[in-house]
Amino acid sequence: MNDPRPPDPQETPETPRLRREYRTIASMLRIWCRDHHGAHARAGGLCGECTELLAYAGQRLAKCPYGEDKPTCAKCPVHCYKREQREKVREVMRYAGPRMLWRHPLQAILHILDKLRRVEHPMLLRRRRGPRKRQQ
């Protein structure tokens, strides 16, 4: 399996859960790119457009306010993707999601299980944890 290069070190997801989410979107993008963008994607890599979308997804994952408790993006109350990228990722997932069961069954099953996570807005989580002490 050819894994794409990770995003810049300062934008790499830090937790195992977010790294797994990154690998899942990367796998979906490889399926999409190979089937829609043809010859330059056949070598297992991604075309320029898909590489940019993966880098954007990596940035968003690295800045996710949920961290290890991240829900799937479809269930998330915080829309951190810009509208254009959100629509493109939705299109990629609609196409690649069913194909993931054949090409990457473990990732697909874990992604389906992630959809079952209970979701709370990050502000509610902060309120429940109590006030943070300010650094001086």
**What percent helix, strand, coil does the chain show, rounded to 5?**
65, 0, 35
3 domain residue, yes or no: no
Non-local (6+) Cβ contacts of 7 within 8 A are 54, 55, 58, 59, 62
131 domain residue, yes or no: no
41 domain residue, yes or no: yes
127 domain residue, yes or no: no
pLDDT digits (tens, 9 = 90+) for 5-32: 444 544 567 788 888 889 988 999 998 9
Is the CB of residue 38 less than 8 Å from the CB of residue 45?
no
128 domain residue, yes or no: no
pTM: 0.72
84 domain residue, yes or no: yes
133 domain residue, yes or no: no
**Structural domains in the chain (count):** 1
124 domain residue, yes or no: no
CA distance 78 to 80: 6
- Which residue in 51, 1, 31, 34 sits closest to 101, CA to CA? 31
CA distance 123 to 37: 40
pLDDT digits (tens, 9 = 90+) for 51-96: 999 999 999 888 887 777 777 777 777 778 889 998 999 999 899 8
CA distance 119 to 72: 9
The boundaries of the domain holding residue 76 are 9-119
